[in-house]
Amino acid sequence: MTDSVDPAPLSVGRVTLADVAALAGVSTSAVSRTFTPGASVAKKTRALVLKAANQLGYRPNAIARTLSTRKSRIIGVVVSYLHNQFYPTVLERLSQLLQARGYHVLLFINSDPQDGDEGVDALVLDILQYQVDGIVLASTTMSSRLAAQCKAVGIPIVLFNRAAAVEEASTVTSDNYEGGRVAARLLLERGAERIGFISGLEDSSTSRDRERGFRDELSRHRKRLYARASGEYNYDIARSATLQLFNRPRKPDAVFVANDHMAFSAMDALRNDLNLRIPQDVQVIGFDNVPQASWGGYQLTTIEQNSEVMIEATVSIILKHIETGLVMPQRVVVPVKAVLRATTLPV
């Protein structure tokens, strides 16, 4: 009696669905479903197919599937920067949810917004060559033109945490305006009198909305913004903005910063360059509630964006557009909340 020997792997180029089906003892359609993202297949059948495919050296051809279905199952995600800790977290979760639905993320970095319209056109061409099924635009300053260009060629668009004047594009944002109002109320309730603001990029809808809400709430309490500087969502520029803001005889006693990334820079400058105590000399509020905001060295009071709800809404909308062909734009605004930590005084 001889020992049983596993079948020798066939040449990868010769292995077919039928070969895998025969070895697994299932139908070719079961094999096809096993390797089709999002398709339903019994757990036991899946295990048999994967074992047989491994023995035969079979590898599914995603490119061939794209040609036959005219769907790449790839979602392009466009960002301008990743140094803000909010976006790596978002990208990780977005990728997880899309993969669970059989889609994958292809990341594009729009790193030079100074290129203007030519830069947008080049980026669109770059995206189109990958036959993406849909696009999520996040943290990009060219949202309006980019969305219009992609919409013109029939690619579904969702703007994440950006509002743009593109009627056909869906948007998912936090309630940035209300977040600004909440930040103003927190500081006023804690006795702040000379309140400063460090903005993000001047053409960013998120920064503009946060500042507008902040100013409106101050006005409602008959207060005016004491000082303002632009941090451009950049750590080093935010440090310079902080030093500029506090370069006056009567320094601000509180500052609202348009995101946590810049707030960390502001805190470092206040402590290390200006020898000011937080919150005794100056109170600080950020925006986002990134994981680092709770770290011991910062313990930053901040306005939290509910990124999980935002990401789930983004995935739901983009896949609905792709899978049903419906193009009615949706506008989702997700509530925010304050997270109180050590950079503000108790009431």
187-197 tens-digit pLDDT: 999 999 999 99
Q: In terms of domains, do 135 and 280 share one?
A: no
Tell me if 1 is assigned to some domain. no
What value does the mean pLDDT take over residues 282-300? Answer: 97
1 pLDDT more than 60: no
Q: In terms of domains, do 137 and 77 share one?
A: yes
**Triad 204, 238, 120: Cα angle to 5°:** 35
Tell me if 120 is assigned to some domain. yes
Whole-number percent of the chain with pLDDT over 90:
54
Q: In terms of domains, do 98 and 168 share one?
A: yes
34 pLDDT more than 90: no
So what's the pLDDT on residue 80? 81
Band of pLDDT at residue 20, cut at 50, 70 and 90: confident
216 pLDDT more than 90: yes
198 pLDDT more than 90: yes
Rounded mean pLDDT of the chain?
86
Q: Where are the alpha helices (DSSP H) in the chain?
A: 17-24, 28-34, 43-56, 62-69, 86-100, 116-128, 143-152, 176-189, 205-220, 235-245, 260-268, 307-324
Tell me if 9 is assigned to some domain. no
Cβ contacts of 189 within 8 Å, gap of 6 or more = 347
Sign, CA dihedral 329-92-85-131, equals negative
So what's the pLDDT on residue 231? 97
So what's the pLDDT on residue 11? 43
Tell me if 347 is assigned to some domain. no
64 pLDDT more than 60: no
Between CA 84 and CA 127 the distance in angstroms is: 23
Band of pLDDT at residue 121, cut at 50, 70 and 90: low
Q: In terms of domains, do 183 and 329 share one?
A: no
Distance of CA 247 to the CA centre of its chain: 35
Between CA 175 and CA 37 the distance in angstroms is: 34
Q: In terms of domains, do 78 and 158 share one?
A: yes
Residue 325 DSSP one-character state: -
**Tally of structural domains, the chain:** 3
List own/partner pairs for 53-62 with CB under 8 A and 24 or more apart.
53/20, 55/6, 55/7, 55/9, 55/23, 56/7, 56/9, 56/10, 56/15, 56/19, 56/20, 56/23, 57/9, 57/10, 57/12, 57/15, 58/12, 58/15, 58/19, 58/20, 59/12, 60/35
Tell me if 345 is assigned to some domain. no
What is the residue type of 115? D
Band of pLDDT at residue 140, cut at 50, 70 and 90: low
Between CA 114 and CA 122 the distance in angstroms is: 13
Q: Using CB atoms within 10 A of its CB, is residue 45 exposed (0-12), middle (13-18) or buried (19+)?
A: middle
Q: How far is CA 284 from CA 287, 291, 310, in A?
A: 10, 17, 26
Identify the residue with better confidence: 81 or 164.
81
- The neighbour count for residue 319, using CB atoms within 10 Å, is 21
What is the residue type of 142? M
Tell me if 346 is assigned to some domain. no
So what's the pLDDT on residue 37? 60
310 pLDDT more than 70: yes
So what's the pLDDT on residue 317? 94
| CATH code, domain with 241 | 3.40.50.2300
| Structural domain for 315, as ranges | 71-174+307-336
Strand partners, 305: 336
Q: Are 267 and 343 in contact (CB under 8 A)?
A: yes
Sign, CA dihedral 324-171-88-340, equals negative
Tell me if 12 is assigned to some domain. no
So what's the pLDDT on residue 61? 59
Q: In terms of domains, do 313 and 266 share one?
A: no
Query: Hey, is 130 helix, strand or coil?
Result: coil
Q: In terms of domains, do 187 and 251 share one?
A: yes
Give me 119's structure tokens: 């830069």
Q: In terms of domains, do 150 and 262 share one?
A: no
Give me 21's structure tokens: 């089906």
Q: In terms of domains, do 152 and 216 share one?
A: no
So what's the pLDDT on residue 9? 45
Q: What is the pLDDT of residues 66-95, one digit of tens each?
A: 544 567 789 999 888 788 889 999 999 999
So what's the pLDDT on residue 3? 45
Query: Hey, is 148 helix, strand or coil?
Result: helix
Q: In terms of domains, do 118 and 200 share one?
A: no
So what's the pLDDT on residue 260? 98
Q: In terms of domains, do 168 and 186 share one?
A: no
Q: In terms of domains, do 240 and 202 share one?
A: yes
> Which of 7, 28, 60 marks a domain boundary?
60
Whole-number percent of the chain with pLDDT over 70:
84
Tell me if 4 is assigned to some domain. no
Between CA 2 and CA 19 the distance in angstroms is: 25
